[in-house]
Amino acid sequence: MPDSSQSTEIMPEHNSHHNESDQARHQDKLIEIIKTIQAKNLSFQQFVVGVIRSAHPTVRLTTTKWIRSHAHLASQYGPSQLVDELWDAVESRADQDRRDQFAQAIAIRAQSVYVEEVEKAASSKWLRVPHSADLSDESSSDALTGNLRQIKSFYEEVMPRTMALLSRMSDVQISSGDANHSPRSGPAEVEEEDIGEAEDVESESREDGEEEGDETRDGLDRGEARVMSAASCLIAGRSQRANRFQMSLGIVFGLQRVPTASMRILNLCGLSVSARTVHRAMEGLSARAVERARTLRKEQPERTVLLFDNVNIFVRHSTPKTTTSNSSVALTTRTLFTIPSDCQPLVHSDLEAILRIDRDRLTTEMMFGDNDFLQRSCEIQMAVVLLPLLNISKLRRKRLQAALMSRKKRHAIHALAPSKTSTIPMKLFHVNEGTVEGTQEVLKRTKTELGIGARDSFVVAGDLLSVMNVHASRHAARWEPDEKERLDGTYPVAGPWHLLLNWLYMMFRQYGNKDRPNSLERLRQALGRGKTQLDMNKPHFEDGWRLLRCIWTGRLLAMLREELKHNGGATEQTWAPTSQQFFRTMSNLYARHMSQDAVSEARAAGDGGRVNAILFLRDCVMGWEYNSAIQEGDIGRMAAGEKFLAQYFYGAGQTKYGALLLDRILEDAIHPKIARSLRAAQLINTNGKANSWQGADHFQELLNGRLQKYDVPHATDQVIVRFEDRISAFVGAGQTISEGVALSLGIGASKRRKREKQEKADIVLVARDAAEYSLSSTRQAKRAESGQANEGEDSQPKKKTSAIEQARQVWDSINPSMHLKTKDVNDLLERGYLKLAGGLLAAYKSKKRDIRSRDKDVFEMAHGTEDSESNNDNDEDESSEHDRHDPDQLEAGPNDDDLRMAELELRSRGGDAYSDSDDSDEEG
């Protein structure tokens, strides 16, 4: 019996002989057929064409079976195989002229295939968009979105061969599944490398449950964008009606104020959307804004919130004259949105119950924040910024991120389920809502437009001034004889973004220029951050936030290096901790550099710089924590953080925001379910994704910024009419489409990666600066006061100095007193508690929400006299920009002229809010 090895060697040889014999017999048959054809005086072409065209039943039956044969693969279909073999034969055996003739014949025959596909797409009801498309109602078949990937999928479904042809011509691979495998060329490959470098920086958002490829799947690469543009132009050639791709781009063009001449050029190049088309869409949307808002109010009568804010439009005259001058017009923007479905509806009796709460019920126990919550917040926020700085393997990073995500879930208190907020921007009013009279008119006219009755609930959202105006308006309307004119059941909530903005102002006033080691102004100069947007009194939010974040992270890095040095000598580049080791280190960092024990130790040693550094690290955490809670929609963490923020604001003398937070603390304690719904009314989620919540007031500020960018060179009356009829309601829906298109095309991604790379370098510089000032450890008082820490750099003049050292020397020459003197910054938490216990809590309880109190509050906020007593006991506090006013005048209340000036002052300040997408709009 032969063994298996011999049999395996014999079988292939037997099969090869068998295949060769079959092929030989097949060739013999073909030779016999060719001889038979020649014997019948037929050419090969006459035979093949004759068989296909033959009408004889026997021949036709044979060819029909061959044509109708079934095959699982297209390459196995008989006619397809014939064409493929014929093409290969012509390419390999024919001369150039014959090959060209054959290719021409195939191309002519294929034209009808592509023409039919394009005609089918052009006649599609979904793809053809009317000029008056409803941009915000997603339940409508005519709705537009900025998701270009959805349109691309439709193109590939309706005209697959055309898309495959365009993709092949553009050298882009088409795959029915994930399009991320498409090859990129040129600059796109460089961007892919940049993404790899910044991958760790973006890890925070992916830790929160967002998949790593979500943003990539939504976006199109450059090749796919070219194919989309070509396909849409082909469709536009078959139909003059705008298709979805071009209409989406047209809306973005209108929102970006693309000049009419440029729109005309694009129109001639194949984009069927013109300036007139966009204007008709804008006007159609604005015309139906009230109708859609009324419908939303009827569908969800107890879940809608009116968001309104003031916007100042600068009007310039097209023909300057000596009798005319440019002016600013105060308008009021409005947006109606809904609260999440998992919140309790807000009925009239609920709002009246909140309004009837007696402030005397507030106790000191209600105000105290949870120290464990503060420690967890510090440790999590430290882990979020330090984890991307570690040079560890992907597997270890993934495990640490999973551990961090687990801690975040345990830290969550009451997070809203991710859901898209229904938002309907409405026409603006030519009313200044910064006054009580203006707020009354806005509320009454809106109630009439939406059909809100006297016994219906009416929740409104805005900033702190809007809240004070609504309360004053309710107080003034109590004596209206008509019940409909009263504002019963109307309750205002203040958005959280303005709260964060004032927290930012407080941080810059507290640490802007107090001492040399901790001065934000010195570090701003050392890092080369622009002075224009980083005014130390009123910094631009985004730039000020980034500076604080950079300095905070850099100092944490210095303290991490100090911690690792004492525990084995590792660095952030060589440290590869387990999850337990990593979070134990975070706990040690909190105990040594953020806890109250660390403050007491530094104070006992007389190290003022160290005290200020500890307080700065701790105070920053509350801003990061509150912002994180907003993004995650965790209204429970927002409430827990506001207990600390209330004491911060009272400690800094910002009593108006402190009183606002005390009201919320009292509402949480007395009516927790109603309070949760009111907190949800402060947030908006425009895309329905996790970690995409934002303050409602921030959303409105973005829309206001869009409005202010429109340059309309007409007379004042014409400008107002133009804004009402065309622009005001369009901006909100257009903003959503613009963000979707920017995400789909990857606009702004490279700029964000470049900024993150630069910030990472700045973090290292700040860490080096903190180490040189020994902010990571407590020093003796005599060493801190004598300036010995700086003798080293002065005793080595020949040594080459870095940019940050040169900036430090320049700063010393300008501020010589700071070189020798360091004064402790007040502990705002401690100071806030002492102020509340010393009389401010009693003043809060006795204060009424009437017009007189509102006028006094507005005047004090405008002139910086909210807590003059607290400012007098600190000789290092900067004086107010305005002169101090007579206390008797403040007690009696401001006169009408002073009040109007104060209202203008508050409304002219505003808050500059912009996102990365807005920033990218101005590129180039």
> Does the pLDDT of residue 815 top 70, yes or no?
no
710 compared with 871, residue with greater pLDDT: 710
Backbone angles phi, psi at 596, to 5 degrees: -70, -30
3-state SS of 748-811 is CHHHHHHHHHHHHHHHHHHHHHHHHCCCCCCCCHHHHHHCHHHHHHHCCCCCCCCHHHHHHHHH
Rounded Cα distance, 546 and 313, in Å:
28
Residue 525 has a pLDDT of 86
Structural domain harbouring 270: 123-286
Top pLDDT among 867 and 222 is at: 222
Provide the 8-state DSSP code for 72: S
Helix/strand/coil for 288: coil
pLDDT tens digits for 41-82? 888 888 888 888 888 888 888 888 888 877 667 667 888 888
Selection from 210, 211, 218 nearest residue 146 by Cα: 218
Q: What is the pLDDT of residues 534-560, one digit of tens each?
A: 677 788 898 899 999 999 999 999 999
7 pLDDT band, cuts 50/70/90, is very low
In a domain, 423, yes or no: no
Do residues 97 and 137 both lie within one domain? no
When pLDDT is cut at 50, 70 and 90, the band that residue 319 belongs to is low
- At residue 490, the pLDDT reads 92
Which of 286, 308, 341 is the C-terminal boundary of a domain? 286
Q: Specify whether 247 is located in the same domain as 185.
A: yes
pLDDT confidence tier of residue 323, bands split at 50, 70 and 90: low
Mean pLDDT of 98-125: 89
Statement: residue 156 has pLDDT above 70: yes
DSSP string for residues in 433-474: TTSHHHHHHHHHHHHHHHT--TTS-EEEEE-HHHHHHHHHHH
Per-residue pLDDT reduced to its tens digit, 706-754: 777 766 555 555 667 777 766 666 666 666 677 777 777 777 666 667 7
Same domain, 548 and 410: yes
- Mean residue pLDDT of the chain comes to 78
Within this chain, do residues 191 and 257 fall inside the same structural domain, yes or no? yes
Q: Given a cut of 80, is residue 154 above it in pLDDT?
A: yes
pLDDT at residue 86 is higher than 80:
yes
Query: Is 307 contained in some domain?
Result: no
Alpha-helical segments (H) within 159-259: 160-169, 187-197, 203-207, 214-218, 222-238, 244-255
CA dist list (Å): 582 to 172, 403, 767:
44, 10, 19
Please report the pLDDT score of residue 713 as a whole number.
Answer: 54
Measured torsion, CA atoms of residues 655, 660, 666, 671, in degrees rounded to the nearest 10: 180
The answer as to whether 387 is a domain residue is: yes
In what order do the strands lie in the sheet containing 458-462? 423-429, 327-338, 304-315, 458-462, 490-494
More confident residue, 2 or 477: 477
Nearest CA-CA partner of 434 in 901, 913, 867: 901
Task: Write the single-letter amino acid at 288.
Answer: R
Looking at residues 257-284, what average pLDDT do you find? 76
Whether 105 and 129 map to the same domain: the answer is no
315 touches 327 (CB < 8 A) = yes
Query: Which amino acid type is present at position 640?
Result: A
* Boundary of a domain, candidates 769, 797, 827: 827
Residues 83 and 185 in one domain: no
Cβ atoms < 10 Å from Cβ of 588: 16
Q: What is the mean pLDDT of residues 522-543?
A: 80
191-238 per-position pLDDT tens digit: 333 323 333 333 333 334 344 444 445 678 888 888 888 888 888 888
Q: What does the DSSP 8-state code read for residue 684?
A: E
Nearest residue to 431 via CA among 521, 311, 317: 311
| Number of other residues whose CB lies within 10 A of the CB of residue 533 | 14
842-868: average pLDDT? 78
Residue 270 has pLDDT above 50, yes or no: yes
Euclidean distance between CA atoms 418 and 688, whole angstroms: 5
Is the per-residue pLDDT at 892 higher than 80?
no
Rounded Cα distance, 626 and 643, in Å: 11
Task: Map tokens 């049999």 to a residue.
Answer: 7
Residue 880 within any structural domain of the chain: no
What's the average model confidence in pLDDT over 629-643?
A: 96
Count CA atoms within 13 Å of residue 53 on its CB side: 6
DSSP, res 386: H
Position with higher pLDDT, 698 vs 531? 698
Q: Over 70: is that where the pLDDT of 917 sits?
A: no
pLDDT of residue 693: 96
Which residue has tokens 């007395």? 670
Which pLDDT score is estimated for 712? 59
Answer yes or no: are the C-beta atoms of 565 and 767 closer than 8 Å.
no
Question: Does residue 127 sit in the same domain as residue 106?
Answer: no
State the pLDDT at residue 62. 85
Distance CA 676, CA 389 (A): 37
Cα–Cα distances (Å) from 106 to 83, 92, 877, in that order, read 10, 17, 84
**Are residue 568 and residue 539 in the same domain, yes or no?**
yes
The pLDDT value recorded for residue 920 is 36
Give the list of residues 6+ apart from residue 113 with CB closer than 8 angstroms, or none.
Answer: 161
Q: Which of 431-435, 455-459, 797-801 is least confident?
A: 797-801
What digits encode the pLDDT tens for the residues 440-490? Answer: 999 999 999 999 988 899 999 999 999 999 999 988 888 888 887 888 889
Cα-only R_g, the chain: 35
The domain total for the chain is 3
* Sign (positive or negative) of CA dihedral 286, 291, 295, 298: positive
Task: Calculate ∠ Cα 836-837-839, nearest 5°.
Answer: 70
Q: Which of 188-192, 538-542, 661-665 has the lowest mean pLDDT?
A: 188-192
User: Are residues 797 and 701 part of one domain?
Assistant: yes
- Is residue 822 predicted with pLDDT exceeding 60? no
pLDDT at residue 786, rounded to an integer: 40
When comparing pLDDT for 560 and 10, which is higher? 560
**832 is a domain residue:** no
Residue 298 lies in a domain: no
Residue where a domain stops, chosen among 111, 140, 163: 111
pLDDT band at 317, cuts 50/70/90?
A: low
* Confidence bin at 320 (pLDDT 50/70/90): low
pLDDT confidence bin for 24, thresholds 50/70/90: confident
pLDDT at 177: 41
Q: Do 510 and 410 lie in a common domain?
A: yes
Please tell me the distance from the alpha carbon of residue 728 to that of residue 429, in angstroms, as a whole number.
Answer: 9
The answer to whether residues 649 and 558 belong to one domain is yes
Q: What is the pTM of this model?
A: 0.78
* Domain co-membership, 502 together with 548: yes
Residue 114 confidence (pLDDT) above 60: yes
How does strand 327-338 pair with strand 304-315? antiparallel
Give the mean pLDDT of 794-822: 49
Q: Is 556 domain-assigned? A: yes
CA 542, CA 37: separation in Å to the nearest integer? Answer: 85
Q: Look at residue 721 and tell me if it is in a domain.
A: no
- The per-residue pLDDT for range 482-521, each reduced to its tens digit, is 887 888 889 999 999 999 999 999 999 999 887 788 888 8
